Amino acid sequence: MYTFSDNLIKTLAEARKIAVLTGAGISAESGVATFRDPNGLWAKFRPEELASMDGFLKNPLLVWEWYQARREVIDRVKPNPGHTTLVAMQDWYEECGGSFTLITQNVDRLHQQAGSRDVLELHGNIIENYCSRCKKPHEYRYTADTDVKEPPRCGYCGGMIRPAVVWFGEMLPVDALEAAQDAASECEVFFSIGTSAEVYPAAGLPIEAKRAGAMFIEVNPNQTAITRYADVVIAAPSGEALPVLFEKVRAWQA
Ligand code: APR
């Protein structure tokens, strides 16, 4: 079972400004593949071929089918206790008059499905789509029985439709990134949960928070590129550790 220091529980119980960055690892216990784990997506596919505009233009069918396959998984999985604990934490901190900012690199929208509000999506989402030429949003809902064998075409300009995911080499949504950077610089506690911290600018947020004086807590069963900067390392699956941690915070009596 997981044990936590009184200092950690006291700090979390008394904090009023919390920021959280999540990565693919928080969805792992829901059955969604991560990217860089041994059996992750990048062990089977090359990111530049599948998660880039160049790759899409070179082989639109391959890229579209890869996203269809990921959508098929995401369409049937459910949030896990890691997701639902973050919802309970957001409720609790906001009821205490504090702030709770959830920043995610994930595109699966499991945070929103669990009930998280005002989620900052740094890498877009896999559910929505838009035209790769005129950028107009395109209404296309994935359904398991849709045997789409090539990207749909835009009704306005005929361009190929693409998922609303931020691809390598593309700009991150400025509003989300600025809000994430503000939260990192103003928070008292910054959680990095389920991310290898390999991709910037997201991976720089925990360090920015620490530099601004926040307690930096990492939740990850494995070491990452930023573990050495963490004040507290919870080397455990988030779906197991977060419910136990938050139960103790909620029960803390000063
Ligand atoms: N609980 C917490 N962490 C976990 C769990 C779990 N149950 N299972 C795995 N992890 C950790 C792994 O140890 C790893 O450090 O989750 C991390 C997942 O890392 P990545 O696969 O690199 O995913 P992520 O950090 O989200 O990747 C960032 O890279 O390819 C791009 O756009 C993509 O958003 C993605 C970005």
What pLDDT does 198 receive?
96
What pLDDT does 145 receive?
62
What pLDDT does 47 receive?
86
CA distance 230 to 218: 6
85-103 pLDDT tens trace = 999 999 999 999 999 999 9
Nearest CA to ligand 1 atom 35: 105
Expressed in angstroms and rounded, the spacing between residue 79 Cα and the centre of ligand 1 is: 16
What pLDDT does 148 receive?
67
For ligand 1, whether the C-beta of 221 sits within 6 Å is yes
Q: What is the CATH number of domain 33-76+128-165?
A: 3.30.1600.10
What pLDDT does 9 receive?
98
What pLDDT does 144 receive?
72
Expressed in angstroms and rounded, the spacing between residue 154 Cα and the centre of ligand 1 is: 33
36-81 pLDDT tens trace = 999 898 888 888 889 999 999 999 999 998 999 999 999 999 999 9
CA distance 61 to 149: 7
Q: What is the CATH number of domain 1-32+79-123+172-254?
A: 3.40.50.1220
| pTM (2 d.p.) | 0.96
CA distances from 61 to 71, 125, 134, 151 (A): 15, 19, 19, 6
Nearest CA to 103 among 122, 128, 117, 124? 122
Domain ranges of the chain: 1-32+79-123+172-254, 33-76+128-165
For residue 47, give the ligand 1 atom closest to its CA.
30
Taking 50 as the pLDDT cut, the residues of the chain under it are none
